[in-house]
Structure 1
Amino acid sequence: MSKAPQTKIPATYMRGGTSKGVFFRLADLPAAAQQPGAARDRLLQRVIGSPDPYGKQIDGMGAATSSTSKAVIVSPSTRADHDVDYLFGQVAIDRDFVDWSGNCGNLSAAVGPFAIANGLIDAAKVPANGTCTVRIWQANIGKTIVAHVPITNGQVQETGDFELDGVTFPAAEVALEFIDPADEGEGEGGVAMFPTGHLVDQLEVPGVGSFQATLINAGIPTIFLNAADLGYAGTELQPAINGDPAALARFETIRAWGAVKMGLIHDVAEAAKRQHTPKIAFVAPPANYMASSGKPVQAADIDLLVRALSMGQLHHAMMGTAAVAIGTAAAIPGTLVNLAAGGGQRSAVRFGHPSGTLRVGAEASQVNGQWAVTKALMSRSARVLMSGWVHVPLDTASA
């Protein structure tokens, strides 16, 4: 039995959008964890409390959901015209791995505030009052995110009246620009926005069925399906999906075959080690429903309905990167998302999700017959929940 003492590592526990995670400065990590690899993964798993066969993460900072089992590493950028490099790790809850294959759009809103508060931004760039623009290099996917962070009296402003469905209390608004969000891929190699070359594919899933699908790489690789094809209305809340093991298994099988068709993996068996990407979502035309908070959502107030799964469970609201995919697909006539929203070209949509509604915009145009998206835009909020140190057994930190 290990009797190693604990050590402490500077860290900040933050909410970004509808997610929470543990944030680190790269330089504060133990030497072995400052490089990608097993030592870093083990450390972050121990901080979050994984792998946990009980699925509760009681012995760590995680809260046993895909929205809260997250870690972020930020450092001064090595790239011209960027302020910081941002690396995101999705820590599996009950399995032994950390997924580095994608970004977290929600926690992206907290990166700028964290960087400013932790001295990673040149003080000359931070106004006494106003907005500090932080250019972020998202290292997982090789993309630029521009965060517009409100500043009051030289400090990051966290309180405010911006309301975000899925978050109980209002806070200050952080506007985000996801630059050139398409051509998403691990590192900088990337793959096409529509990897099959089609806006809608027929996705054959052995043992499950055949489905119309829009397969898109924008924000995060995402598989969009029609709710009706799955036997859903698009108004479902978490219990209707997460309480149905057969439905979850079906979604995971569809996701695995979709990942193969998108060229993200070579064999469906590889999907088990790539839980974070691709995402799978289903869409439907607008309808009235009651959000999880008890607030009614009216069909007249939204353009479409979207429900998305993350790490094998229906998300309680909407992943930020999936919102980018929604906005991008909605802007391109003929995708399933666009058709559910009524068709035609549009620069923004407001969609209904389990916790309420969200608006996301995208700038799309055709170039030489191919669709291109220059940026996607949305607003989130962020707040420091706790700052200080996380404690882990010394043998974990020095592994």
Structure 2
Amino acid sequence: MSNNELSILNQYHDIVDATNIVSKTDLKGIITYVNSKFIEISGYTEEELIGKPHNIVRDPKLPSTIFKELWRTIQSKNVWKGVVTNLRKDGTSYTVDASIFPILNSEGEIIEYISIRHDITQLLELSSKLEKINTYNSKQEHLAKEKLEAGIINDMGNKECSVIHIASDILSGDIYSIYKMKNKATFLYLIDGQGHGVSPALTVFAISSMLNQFVYDVNSLDELIHRLYTNAKTFLGEIEQLSYTMIMISPDKKSITYSSGGMYPFLIKKANEIIKIKANNGVFMNFSPIPICTTIDIAGWESVLLYSDGLLEHENEALKECMPNEIINNPSGIKDSMKKISQHKFEDDVTIIYLENKS
């Protein structure tokens, strides 16, 4: 071997030695060499290790089957890799990612074994902490979702109203409710908090909670909107925005008063005609003016349909029959639509509210 080759080989040795826990044993597993990192992590001196069986650092809690497999592998001239727990001199444990190599002579016979190990104790502890945090967060999100669902009030019977709601995340940014007012008017709304995750979900939940407080104390949508948005401005963030549609159907069911912003047109079916009612406001932000309300005559209406943008922005030929226009034209297919929609993964929440005039 040339001096240059020897120099390169020594550099390789130094690099491995400086970054790993290294030891050598003879064919019986007796330690013949340990590097400084082995000494440091084990707590033994070099004199206490050389000449001792390598199982001096073995954790007795580890199953013997692991070591039987280890010996079977390396004696077959193969490399064994695995994660094992070792014990320090003081009895504390540490975990290593180990690779054990059989070293062969020119005749292909095993002459010794070299073990190269990485201390992964802190990595495993961090992983365990992250798992606990994720488990905690998941539980909290489920609790928040239950609270969200508890806030959804539906005063209508199943024969009058059908809802398709598919959340893209464990916490939904869409929220809706339907109320039967004291004066027999019907109030329903759909709010879409822009974004995903906890923040928009909590915002729409707060809005829903306020609506639940105000709705039975007012006589008109205009009064409700004024009270709601005057209060909502106080906690909306600078970049938070809400898309919404709120409608109130008169007790005699001959007119609708609505306020809508940032949503697709809601649909009214009347005498086999589909009427699209466009938004009459912009999205609501903390600097927006109080939204206006508009009243229209709908005498003789058959059904009303509200929907968020999740479905329309998910282009899929298989869902063509599940689009809002198709649903309001063929309400008997709502269950089939719900089944089809639930089989797809959406990037945004999907909410469709169908209300039928049973009078």
TM-score under structure 2 length normalisation = 0.21
**Larger radius of gyration between Structure 1 and Structure 2:** 2
Instruction: From the two aligned structures, give the one with the greater helix fraction.
Output: 2
Instruction: From the two aligned structures, give the one with the greater strand fraction.
Output: 1
TM-score under structure 1 length normalisation = 0.19
